[in-house]
Amino acid sequence: MRIKILLLLLCSFVLFSCKKEEGDGGMATIKGNVWVRDWDKNFNLMMYEHPGLDEDVFIVYGDQTGYGDKVSTDLNGNFEFKYLRKGTYTIYALSDTLQSANVSYNQFPVAVKVEISEKKQVIDIGTLTVNR
């Protein structure tokens, strides 16, 4: 009986002493907004601006390669990543840019890096402005 108790205590100690890495499973939130600037085909004249409806926003957990999750913005361009642990995160949306006079487009990330340091922290990263 004592051996079973000792094994149970040892397993519990190992499970609870492991450092949890960035990602899902916590109680923190990162939120923000996407703002879109629509340009003419040569990116010379901005036609109009508006909240980013249904824009993809990505999150990178720590130093991982590739993104960990993505969400879409609501009608007002707002997004949230919930249930995050303490750690470092990069949030980004993709913006278009004109590559050459032949009107070829490339995308580049508009990114913000943030640190969650408290369990129930809510971080508002503000506005990510993208071009279309």
- How many independent structural domains does the chain possess? 1
Q: Which CATH number do you get for residue 67?
A: 2.60.40.10
**pLDDT value for 12:** 54
Tell me whether residue 13 is in a domain: no
- Residue 8 included in any domain: no
- Neighbouring residues of 2: CB distance < 8 A, sequence distance ≥ 6: none
Domain range enclosing 85: 20-131
Model confidence at 73, pLDDT cuts 50, 70, 90, reads: very high
pLDDT band at 56 (very low <50, low <70, confident <90, very high): very high
Query: Does residue 6 belong to any structural domain of this protein?
Result: no
Is 2's pLDDT higher than 90?
Answer: no
| Single pTM value for the model | 0.82
CA distance 69 to 110: 16
